[in-house]
Amino acid sequence: MRDVTAVWIVERGGELLETRGVLVMERASFEEQERVIGEVLGHRSVRRCCVDATGLGMQLAERLVRRFGSYRVEGLTFTVGLKAELAGRLRMLAETGRIRIPVEDAIERDWHSLTRVVSRSGHVRYEADRAAGGHADRFWAAALAAHAAARHVGCGDGEYLTGGAARFARQGVW
C-alpha cells in the first residue's frame, strides 16, 4: 500500500490540544497535497503548520513556506533526534490527556503500528509495522501538529506602557 498524506489539525486551548480535523489523502499528487494544505492554511484561525520536509516532502514544504511564509509553515527534516522529540511530546500529551484524539480505527492502527526500537549499541529508531498499512502517517501528522502548537511563533500577549497621552492623540499627527 502506498503511503498516505495526513494532515492533523489541532486547536490549542491552554495546555489542551483539541483535534479539529484529520485529513487523509491517498495517492494524491503533490499539486493536490499543496492545494488541500493551502486551503487549510487559508483559514485565518490556522496559525502554524509543520510539514515533513524529508525526501520527497522537501519540495512541498519549500513551496508552502514560499507561499505562506516561514512564520506560518515550518519544514522539518526527520532525523532520529527529531523523531524522538516529536514522538516523546505526543506520547506525553496522550498519556496526560492533553490531546483529544478522534476515535477511529485507522488512527488507532496507525498509532499502534509505531514501535520504538533500541539497538544493541543504544541507538533509538522508530519503525512502523508495514503490514498495518503505512508509515504511521496519522501518528506523525499528529506529532507535527503538536510541534506546531508548542512552537507557535506570534506576537504573544501585548505589553502596554502608559505615561501620558499617546503621541498620535495630539492634534495634527494624522
Residue 132 and residue 113 in contact, taking contact as beta carbons nearer than 8 Å: yes
Cell (9 digits) for 164: 501620558
pLDDT tier for residue 129 given thresholds of 50, 70 and 90: confident
Q: Give the global pTM.
A: 0.83
pLDDT tier for residue 15 given thresholds of 50, 70 and 90: very high
pLDDT in tens, 72-81: 999 999 999 9
Q: Does domain 4-169 have CATH number 1.10.1510.10?
A: no
Sketch the domain layout of the chain as residue ranges: 4-169
d(CA 118, CA 113): 16
Say if residue 161's pLDDT is above 70. no
Say if residue 162's pLDDT is above 50. no
